């Protein structure tokens, strides 16, 4: 069996997560986080649309991690992001982290907005 190391082409994968934190590229972030083309940053949740709208031209799909379980997005939040041309995929935060890493490894134009679990 041959194993290949994944090349993220300088982008930062989600290394781990747990109650109230994410570890991205070896650094710990406490609270919700957005993992975007320019790097990870703290995210203020559904009220913080500016952070996500700023990358609308740089990502094709934005994964939204809704916490421990999948949950519907607030209507105004969803509509604002979709109107900006962002493709949204909603899932539980753990699934969003794993999906983000897979798509990042494939070289996709991907971002993630992750609510802390």
User: The domain that contains 81 carries what CATH number?
Assistant: 3.40.1230.10
Predicted local confidence at residue 12, as pLDDT: 87
Structural domains counted in the chain: 1
> How are strands ordered across the β-sheet holding 21-24?
14-18, 21-24, 27-30
Whether residue 5 lies inside any domain: the answer is no
Answer yes or no: is 45 within a domain. Answer: yes
Residue ranges of the chain with pLDDT lower than 70? 1-10
* Confidence (pTM): 0.91
Take residue 79 and report the two structure tokens written for it: 């509509």
pLDDT of residue 11: 80
Gap between the terminal Cα atoms of the chain: 36
4 within a domain of the structure (yes/no) = no
* Both tokens assigned to 23: 């570890």
- Three-state DSSP class for residue 111: strand
**26 falls within a domain:** yes
Does residue 97 belong to any structural domain of this protein?
yes
Q: What share of the chain is helix, strand, coil (3-state, %, to 5)?
A: 25, 30, 45
The reply to whether 76 falls in a domain is yes
Cα 57 to Cα 75: distance, rounded to the nearest angstrom: 22
Q: Residue 82 domain-assigned? A: yes
Residue 21 falls within a domain, yes or no? Answer: yes
Domain range for residue 68? 14-114
Q: How far apart are CA 18 and CA 48, in angstroms?
A: 22
């Amino acid at each position: 069996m041959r194993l290949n190391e994944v090349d993220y082409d300088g982008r930062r994968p989600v290394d781990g997560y747990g109650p109230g934190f994410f570890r991205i590229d070896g650094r710990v972030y406490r609270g919700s986080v957005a993992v975007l083309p320019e790097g990870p940053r703290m995210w203020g949740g559904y009220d913080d649309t500016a952070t996500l709208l700023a990358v609308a031209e740089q990502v094709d799909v934005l994964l939204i991690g809704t916490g421990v379980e999948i949950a519907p997005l607030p209507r105004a939040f969803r509509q604002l992001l979709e109107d900006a041309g962002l493709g949204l995929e909603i899932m539980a935060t753990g699934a969003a982290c794993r999906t983000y890493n897979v798509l990042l490894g494939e070289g996709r134009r991907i971002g993630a907005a992750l609510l802390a679990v």
